Chain A
Amino acid sequence: MQAFLKGGTSGPSKDKAVSSDSSSSSKAKIIPWVEKYRPKTVEDVAHQDEVVAVLKKSLEGSDLPNLLFYGPPGTGKTSTILAAARQLFGPELYRERVLELNASDERGISVIREKVKKFAQLTAGRARPDGKPCPPFKIIVLDEADSMTKDAQSALRRTMERETKTTRFCLICNYVSRIIEPITSRCAKFRFKPLDDDILTSRLKAICEGEGVDIDDKAVATVLKSSEGDMRKAIMFLQSASRLCGKDSTVSSDIILDIAGVVPGERLEQLIATCSSDSYEDLDVAIREVIMDGFAASQVLSQLHDNIVINESLSDKQKSIICEKMAEVDKSLMDGADEYLQLMALFSTIMTQICHGN
């Protein structure tokens, strides 16, 4: 037992989590915190209780369904399955039993048919080299499955059906709507929720303690607000801010705001105030400035939305007109439309509503 703990999951897996081909442990010191604090075990995964419960059962020996993880970035999808696989199979069997294919690998139909099929057909025993029992199947992880073509997904569906005895699939994606129905219906679906503030706070505090970072409560609150439940972002903000401050000073809220690319509150207020002036010339100047200062239109949009929704000087009807325009602008921006024109269109809608809407 002692030997297992020592040679087992947590030691070598640390490096593997970072890269499949680096092995020197002296490098582990300077890996970014996002990787350093990637959950090593299923229990380590915060906030995703349902899936953790299912995986824990399978660690205790019960069967595992095919899995589909979906949810926004930085909520633990990839970490969860990698940790589970490592715990199930241990470090020696990991390579033999787990196939990870992500969007950067070739995943056309032919690959799904051949590589996946070949891997799935290998037989799998019930014991690990260290004598511990392990489940008699292999796991194929298809990360970023939402970028697979429909054809490749259909091919996958047939493979999934054929290999149920020996192989479990775990599909991971941000947008579940991009996965075809025959596949979603064959998987146990788990939605990964954005992490809530309490959990993020306690994790961040723990990291601060581990790394000797001084941070005030206001700055923590700012990290939470600007990372929107994305733990990866939160950790990244924290680390960068602590680097920028240096060892001896306290991480402040302003630094976080700067790193996060947030449009300063006064700036946004000022834009809205310009709308009440009913002057196109002023609006034009203000928007050009925002763009020249490098703020992304999508960022302006998301902050503006928060503001408009709770803005008390606007009637419900005005809000709904503005929000509808926002949706249109958001879509257009995603399609590659020009930022200046889209922002002008949006803010002139607000101007019309404020100055002439009933």
Chain B
Amino acid sequence: MSLWVDKYRPTTLGKLDYHKEQAAHLRKLVEGGDFPHLLVYGPSGAGKKTRIMCTLRELYGPGVEKLRIEQSQFTTPSNKKLEISTISSNYHIEVNPSDVGHNDRVVIQELIKNVAQVNQLDTSTQKNFKVVVLTEVDRLSKEAQHALRRTMEKYMATCRLILCCNSTSKVIPAIRSRCLGLRVAAPSVDEICQILTTVCKKEGLTLPREMAEKVAEKSGRNLRRALLMCEACRVQQYPFNPERDVSEPDWEIYLRETATLIAQQQSPKRLLEVRGRLYELLTHCIPPDVIMKGLLKELLQVCDGQMKAEVVHNAAYYEHRLQQGQKAIYHLEAFVAKFMAIYKRFLEEGIADIF
């Protein structure tokens, strides 16, 4: 039994149920024959991957759905062996180069050359190029991005790239210049409601409107999360009870409590306590930027106007440092300490004002 997110994933451009206009655009691009390199970007769970697969299907027919998962081997110039898993069909290959860290350049270099030089060419599809799908390109090293530049032009006759990422901010201008950008906005709350309702109908379930809205709101416009939450609710209780709260992940609650602890008391002792909790979150693989944003959201609620600005700046500042540094905990803790200082000062000034 597969999860709803997999079971009801649309497989053709015609079946995509939102941003229909964009789907029609994609179809026309395929018809044109001279398909460009694509840079598909948008927030998580917006349906980028789904759209890419539908486009491939439009290009090559149902053959692209026969997928093989393989381990590919590459050798670095210094003779280190790299292994990376790839998903491929006869027509395309998908890989996430950042899986091999700073050796991503080697993978890109070899992979594209291999694909481009082995001229497969199935006459039945009338396509003379294969597609290489690279995911998470915003995590590629600069070296790897540079290595893509000329390669993208040189092998254009036999190989097209579809690059996928959350934001183009980290993609170098020379690559952006070589791709057609495709922005995939997250579906609106209404669109998510619609999809949840349709999916439930297909499962033979009735989903009350209120419930659908509740889930859609909670999902933060992330369709994947919405579907997962809805399925979880189904498992917990059916018929759906719209009165009941849609359950949140434990870590979100834990994070909120952590923020409350910070707002309640500002002392070295409390800082130590908070640190333990931050460690706990990190060891459960909650990404540090998510922790930072979660803390910020809660902490802002106890701040007043001008102080909010100061706190926001510090969150941005420490998160930036965190991305560059080695250990996330230092920077998270530094932010918490900074907040405590700001907040305490504010409280003391407040008391001084009263007298």
Contact = CB atoms under 8 A, between A and B. Distances in A.
A309 B107 CA distance: 43
B43 A294 contact: yes
B221 interface: yes
Contacts of A113: none
Interface stretch (B225-233, B243-251, B304-312, B346-354): B304-312
B138 to A, nearest CB: 8
A33 B300 contact: no
Contacts of B31: 243
Interface stretch (A181-189, A214-222, A337-345): A337-345
B2 interface: no
B168 interface: yes
User: Which among B32, B155, B292, B324 has the greatest number of chain A C-beta atoms within 10 A?
Assistant: B32
A233 B289 contact: no
A103 B112 CA distance: 13
Contact of A239 (B34, B148, B181, B308): B34
B156 A35 contact: yes
Interface stretch (B84-92, B204-212, B264-272, B314-322): B314-322
Contact of A341 (B150, B151, B220, B292): B292
Interface residues of A, number: 70
Nearest to B322: A337
A72 B305 CA distance: 42
Contacts of B319: 337-338, 341
A293 B316 contact: no
Interface in A288-341: 291-299, 329, 332-341
B316 A341 contact: yes
Contacts of B324: 335-336
A351 B43 contact: no
Nearest to B188: A292
Contact of A232 (B28, B148, B177): B177
Contacts of A337: 316, 319-320, 323
A211 to B, nearest CB: 11
B168 A261 contact: yes
Nearest to B175: A73
A64 interface: no
A348 B313 contact: yes
Given A147-B147, A337-B323, A104 B170 contact: no
A105 B108 CA distance: 11
A352 interface: yes
A106 interface: yes
Interface string B176-193: 111111011110000000
A19 interface: yes
B293 A338 contact: yes
A174 B143 CA distance: 14
Contacts of A351: 309
A156 B296 CA distance: 50
B43 A236 contact: no
A266 interface: no
Contacts of A297: 167, 169
Name the prevailing secondary structure of the A interface residues: helix
Interface stretch (A20-28, A126-134, A159-167): A20-28
Name the prevailing secondary structure of the B interface residues: helix
A278 interface: yes
A104 B168 contact: no
Contacts, number: 193
Contact of B34 (A31, A146, A329, A342): A31
A341 to B, nearest CB: 4
User: Which among A19, A143, A259 has the greatest number of chain B C-beta atoms within 10 A?
Assistant: A19
B270 to A, nearest CB: 24
A341 B238 CA distance: 39
A236 B180 contact: yes
Interface string A265-302: 00000000000001010001000000111111111000
A30 B147 contact: no
A21 B28 contact: no
A336 B170 contact: yes
Contacts of A104: 108-109, 112-113, 147-151, 154
A22 B158 contact: yes
A27 B157 contact: yes
Interface in A107-128: 108
A294 B33 contact: no
B101 interface: no
A260 interface: yes
A143 B150 contact: yes
Contacts of A292: 43, 185-186, 220-221
15 contacts: A35-B156, A104-B112, A105-B109, A144-B149, A147-B142, A233-B177, A236-B177, A259-B180, A280-B300, A292-B186, A294-B184, A296-B168, A345-B312, A345-B315, A348-B309
Interface of A: 15, 18-22, 27, 30-33, 35, 72-74, 78, 102-106, 108, 143-144, 146-147, 174, 230, 232-233, 236, 239-240, 243-244, 246, 259-261, 278, 280, 284, 291-299, 329, 332-342, 344-345, 348-349, 351-352, 356
3 residue pairs, one from A and one from B, having the closest CB atoms = A102-B150, A147-B146, A345-B316
Interface of B: 25, 28-29, 31-36, 41-43, 46, 77, 108-109, 112-113, 116-117, 119, 128, 142-143, 146-151, 153-158, 167-170, 173-174, 176-181, 183-186, 220-221, 289, 292-293, 296, 300, 305-306, 308-309, 312-313, 315-317, 319-320, 323-324
Given A102-B149, A102-B150, 13 more contacts: A27-B157, A31-B34, A73-B178, A104-B147, A104-B149, A144-B149, A147-B143, A147-B146, A236-B177, A243-B31, A244-B28, A259-B181, A293-B186
